[in-house]
Structure 1
Amino acid sequence: MRDIKIFRELQGEATDWRRYLHANPELDFQEYNTARFVAEKLSSFGINHVETGIAGTGVVGLIQGEGGDGPTIALRADMDALPIVETSNKPWASKTSGIMHACGHDGHTAMLLGAAKHLARSRNFKGSVALIFQPAEEPAFPTGAYKMVQEGIMERFGISQVFGMHIAPGIEVGRFGIRQGSIMGSQDDFDIVVRGRGGHAADPSRTIDPVVIAAQIILGLQTLVSRKTDPLESLVISVTKLNAAQAYNIIPDQVEIGGTVRTSASSHRDFAEREISASAQAIARGFGADIEFKYLRSVPATINSIEETNLAICAARSLVGAESVDEKVKISMGAEDFAYMLEARPGAYIFLGNGPTAECHSPAFDFDDEALPYGIGYWVQLVETVLGFGTDAGVN
């Protein structure tokens, strides 16, 4: 097992980077200062091949090992923040009103920078490592990962495998979680406009009340999961938006409903799109109304390849021991646009513990800087596991 002390030597510097980024967050596709900060750091480490402006604000640095020819693998970190008012009250809290790093992307960026500094110094591997600093993980389609893949980064840098990592509140610092196959859900979003006939709230019999119809539709959607899908399979349908009249005495002409669908199986996306539309239409027509339906497929499920998952497990075990690596971590129904990179190349996505902190996307969230050496160490160990000298990258 590798001594984590090697990577603790970088913790102070990485903490400074992380807290600077936390205090200066930027939203999706607006990470201009963050991208400049990253590119300058990479160049200062002696990394000569640094490309900027990919998918708008993305950065890729390429490090060549000293072990001779070999493949190129990619390590990815995301850089964008969220439109949330921070309540952490930390000295390094956001200086930008209404924007904060509530999902650990500041830590992800700092950990990959730390690994970049170590790898640029040691170059103890064959082939090359592409360091992907991605913009815009958080928005709906099209996301930063989608745009980077569409702009051809896999082909441009000759990437054969790609790996990602995300902080995980609730998992102890220094522990990892991973699984083969689906590890995070897909994200689809839907909008339903119920069109009825409005009127005075005191005389509802003269209307076709879209508020009542919308309520019936919302209740009806709950049975799609409870009565039409296998309870052992993962499907979540959540209605999250409802917009009707703005006065007490008005029955509106229409009501707008919005929501999200999460699943770990691609076939369920087809089911959800078809059944949500059919259920809503049938209920509305039963009341003499009609609907307009839109369904947006945003992010596919994050699916880890078998070989690359085993390589990630091997690297994590080498760093923290087998007892600190959960190989069958629970599937998260949160979505992650790293899925687009995994559709383009085989790879694996792993969770790193952030301890008993607030949940991601909470205004009270903050990254635990004690996790930094573990993330840095994992990246370095993974590179040396996959691209190590004189041996094929293998798993025992």
Structure 2
Amino acid sequence: MGKRGTTEVNHVTADVVEQKLGTYLNETFRHLHRNPELSGSEFATQAFVKGELERLGIPYQVMAGTGLCAELRGGRPGKTILLRADIDALPINEATGLPYASQTDGVMHACGHDAHTTAVLGTAAMLLERREEWGGTVKLMFQPSEEKHPGGAKPMIAEGLLENPQVNAAIGIHTNPYLAPGTFGLKDGAILANADRFYIHLIGKGGHAAAPHEGADAIAMAGQLIVSLQNLVARQVSPFDNAVVTIGEIKGGYAPNTLADRVYLAGTVRTVNPDTQVLMEEKIGKTLQGIADLWGGSFTYDYVRGYPITWNDKAMTDLVRQAAGLCLGKESVIELPHGYMSADDFAYIAKAVPSVFIEWGTGDWSEEARRSAAAWHNSTFQVNPDALKYGVTVLTQTILNYLQGGE
């Protein structure tokens, strides 16, 4: 039993969620997985979610074009908590071979946003059943464009997501293929990293490959730059700090016997320390200048700040620890030794209100299989549907714990 004030509430169990919603969760997840849509184009997904909210009798408003904010009100006044699901997919050809694989060429739910949306809809249904047991408001945020900077969270905030009623706390959840169903990875403080991007044009002087001394080889410049950027992390960043530099795109050259006069590179920098973020931006610029001077070339360099660090409020994280322990046992809580170097625009919500971002175990039941699981953004990435009921269980209990007793 859980108790706060004069209101006593039976805790949620995964068996009850399975009994009440098991078929619905699986069918919803499969529908969403079969019908992925890219960032900013989630029209059919939005229409599907609208239909589910209308069926449940939950009012909503359209935000950020293809996003939605719905409001579920309890049996009496109280605080307001926001529960977020992102709804977009990625430009990836699915290669899972699943019977419910993507039916759209070149688009795939390769990050689990279909599971996030399913879990939030399921949580809404569970909270509706127990409406008289809690007070306040639950805002359901169905957010577009998480995968495409600048993201959909900031526009929704600008359109009043966190106001009327004012949001007091927030929860985000994310699939994790390396954790077993029924487990949840938690960490106080920084759970996700800053995610910046850079765009570089190396400008040399074209010429014949047989006379490289007469030109300035932009490809050679690029090769030296790539090695130098890795050394920045190895030799300029403290071993007690974390940073990642990755070149994800490179274009240049015309023919095997021609010196390239221009190479384009684009990449990302991930940091968890604001000082390191500044350091990396400066050091990349200085490295570029040194290479250009050495080779007799020039460059352009644009460094774009992206999603900031996602910060877990300790009190909110403790709320999830308590809910998971109550519903599934203490072994369901995995204390993460460190955060992840990935990023999410839920960070803007977490900067505005006390929040928790949960790593949700959605991997295989077998530990050996989880160790070799396909990562996010991979064409063979999979979510174990068995995890859906556990996600709904812990989300529902966390919100009940937060809102029990009303004002």
Structure-1 separation of matches of 2:95 and 2:227: 35
In the alignment, is residue 256 of structure 1 matched against residue 272 of structure 2? no
Could you tell me how far 1:358 is from its partner in structure 2? 2.5
In the alignment, is residue 209 of structure 1 matched against residue 217 of structure 2? yes
Q: Secondary structure at the match of 1:225?
A: helix
Q: What's 1:59 paired with?
A: 68
C-alpha contact (below 8 Å) 1:266/1:300 kept by paired residues: no
| Residue deviations 1:34-83 (CA, integer Å, cap 9, x gap) | 11111111121122x2112x0111111101111x2211100001110111
Q: Secondary structure at the match of 2:347?
A: helix
Q: What's 1:7 paired with?
A: 17
Could you tell me how far 1:150 is from its partner in structure 2? 2.4
Query: Which letter maps to 1:45?
Result: L
Q: Give the counterpart of 2:36 among 18, 25, 37.
A: 25
Structure-2 separation of matches of 1:377 and 1:33: 27
Could you tell me how far 1:329 is from its partner in structure 2? 4.6
Q: Give the counterpart of 1:338 among 342, 346, 356.
A: 346
Structure-2 separation of matches of 1:216 and 1:254: 14
Q: What's 1:382 paired with?
A: 398
Structure-1 separation of matches of 2:67 and 2:38: 13
Structure-2 separation of matches of 1:83 and 1:33: 17
Could you tell me how far 1:328 is from its partner in structure 2? 3.0
Structure-2 separation of matches of 1:255 and 1:346: 44
Structure 1: unaligned runs, 5 residues or longer? none
**CA root-mean-square deviation:** 1.4
Worse-matched range after superposition: 294-303 or 315-324: 315-324
Q: What's 1:365 paired with?
A: 381
In the alignment, is residue 160 of structure 1 matched against residue 168 of structure 2? yes
Residues 1-396 of structure 1 mapped to structure 2, 5 A cutoff: 2-9=12-19, 10-47=21-58, 49-52=59-62, 54-66=63-75, 68-123=76-131, 124-140=133-149, 142-355=150-363, 356=370, 357-389=373-405
C-alpha contact (below 8 Å) 1:46/1:120 kept by paired residues: no
Q: Secondary structure at the match of 1:374?
A: helix
Could you tell me how far 1:131 is from its partner in structure 2? 0.7
| Residue deviations 1:216-268 (CA, integer Å, cap 9, x gap) | 12111122111111111111111222211131111122111221101112222
Over 3 Å counting, the alpha-carbon distance change for 1:34 and 1:182 in structure 2 is same
Over 3 Å counting, the alpha-carbon distance change for 1:156 and 1:245 in structure 2 is farther
Q: Secondary structure at the match of 1:299?
A: coil
Query: Which letter maps to 1:276?
Result: I
TM-score, normalised on structure 2? 0.92
Structure-1 separation of matches of 2:255 and 2:164: 56
C-alpha contact (below 8 Å) 1:42/1:117 kept by paired residues: no
Structure 2: unaligned runs, 5 residues or longer? 1-10, 364-369
Query: Which letter maps to 1:21?
Result: L
Q: Which runs of 4+ in 1 moved over 3 A?
A: none
C-alpha contact (below 8 Å) 2:307/2:347 kept by paired residues: yes
Could you tell me how far 1:333 is from its partner in structure 2? 0.7
Worse-matched range after superposition: 176-185 or 219-228: 219-228
Structure-2 separation of matches of 1:194 and 1:298: 23
Query: Which letter maps to 2:162?
Result: M
TM-score, normalised on structure 1? 0.95
Structure-2 separation of matches of 1:51 and 1:375: 25
Structure-2 separation of matches of 1:95 and 1:323: 38
Worse-matched range after superposition: 68-77 or 249-258: 249-258
